[in-house]
Chain A
């Protein structure tokens, strides 16, 4: 996939941090994230819940403040300079998001609240116009609830049914089964790029090609991919791709839905309101062109500005070094966890992002989470909005450590040390 023209600005080796492989100055990156410097329960905070939400660099926090201090006005409305400034800021982010995802045109970028809204938009708008009784929507066994429930809802409404691509015990989708499930009844495939609970990176490009061979469009949930790797929607050739700002070091409440212009043009509006119309009379409304057609109401302008700052920040990283660092963290943390008696990893795909789910024999994940929290280590425990994945692996819940580029080997060490306390409490 394309490197998005990211330039190398962080090249110094970090002798003070044995965690970092030469090249990525993790200490310098950490200094960009004010929240990471704090202590929790008297211990240094070790933040390992990046798959739930990532922390924000100062550049993002300051961009939002600066917007409200200097540029706040409603967009697309006023003829005065301030409104033009706000509009330029907002539309400027659309262009940066286009570059970030390597979309062909800025009008293929729709601002949404997050990945969940992106999926709902497509399920509702595409589903309402394309699903007929007997049709099928194909999802995978490792989808987040947000890429299951919207499809279930529209399937029920339209008399269509949901089919599921199965996976193996490692947490890899069965490609043969996938090929078999693609039929004339399949109207859309909705797939997660990187699993939030298992860390699996799915072979999206190949799976899109298989669907397209039968003329079936594909939506990709990219929420967990965007923080870990460059995304190129033209290379993937997917029809829709959706991300959440807050998982890629931007603010909550803003995300992006990419859709091929031809697809988006053929779809009716998702919500009605201001900003998405050309003319309104009580008899008839004509809708605006892309992307305004899908952006009813005053958008989260400040959120978009923050997202733009996050995109700029990511654009300054050297992604080859980030990938090396995260691969090192994954391998190191997985090896250390596996060496702890009674710990079993859930999700061992060959191709994985730095997300590690695990269970501690005889101890519920929630108790694990509480104990390690007392050591300053923040991990997620529960079903991670993937109850079908928990059912498949026969566990009620898992503990999950998810690493970002600002995490270190020491963070993995702190997790393993905290897990020793779990044994102390529960024997």
Chain B
């Protein structure tokens, strides 16, 4: 069970059960959709960009615990951040779970997002963790097509 508790950390269980920012942002000026065809995870992400700053963010959707907790924690992490800061977090998070040059030496430097460090041992679940972040990237780039992890 040691591997499992690495994956399903209490923070993740908690955010899955009670997702934060689970809302439609009525005055959103960016909306993006993401889906993971493998397990049917779907999210819709709403952003209100004020110049370069993410003033408000919310998401709706359904999916596995990893995808839902990731969306919840992502929205908390990027709220109030600039586009550039959010993109920096995207790279650090992505590389922490998927392996890559931008992985932080100490996941704790990412705060609560460090809860996803264990995902790296579960390659089949990396897409679940990354879904909301890819959707964020699409929203920031104002992409018209829904993003998919496939």
Contacts and interface: CB of A to CB of B under 8 A. Distances in A.
A371 B8 CA distance: 10
B124 A390 contact: no
B40 A370 contact: no
B84 interface: no
A183 B41 CA distance: 39
A266 to B, nearest CB: 38
Nearest to A398: B40
B65 A367 contact: yes
Contact of A365 (B1, B7, B39, B42): B39
B3 interface: yes
B63 interface: yes
A382 B66 CA distance: 15
A390 B13 contact: no
B63 A364 contact: yes
A366 interface: yes
A382 B13 contact: no
Contact of B62 (A371, A382, A396, A426): A396
Given A370-B124, A370-B125, A374-B4, A426 B40 contact: no
Contacts of B13: 425-427
A78 B13 CA distance: 64
A390 B4 contact: no
B38 interface: yes
Interface residues of A, number: 20
A101 B88 CA distance: 60
Interface string B80-115: 000000000000000000000000000000000000
Contacts, number: 55
Interface in A367-391: 367, 370-371, 374, 381-383, 390
Interface residues of B, number: 21
A425 B8 contact: yes
Contacts of A396: 39-42, 62-63
A364 B38 contact: no
B43 interface: no
Given A396-B40, A425-B8, A364 B1 contact: no
Nearest to A363: B65
Query: Which of B3, B4, B7, B42 has the most chain A CB within a 10 Å cutoff?
Result: B4
A421 interface: yes
B54 interface: no
Contacts of B7: 370
Contacts of B4: 370-371, 374, 421, 425
A416 B5 CA distance: 20
Interface string A267-306: 0000000000000000000000000000000000000000
Interface in B39-88: 39-42, 62-66
Interface of A: 41, 363-367, 370-371, 374, 381-383, 390, 396-397, 421, 424-427
Given A365-B39, A371-B4, A425-B8, 15 more contacts: A364-B64, A367-B64, A367-B66, A371-B8, A374-B3, A382-B38, A390-B40, A396-B41, A396-B42, A396-B63, A397-B39, A397-B40, A424-B1, A425-B4, A426-B65
15 contacts: A364-B63, A365-B64, A366-B63, A366-B64, A366-B66, A367-B8, A370-B7, A381-B39, A382-B38, A382-B39, A396-B40, A396-B41, A396-B42, A397-B40, A424-B1
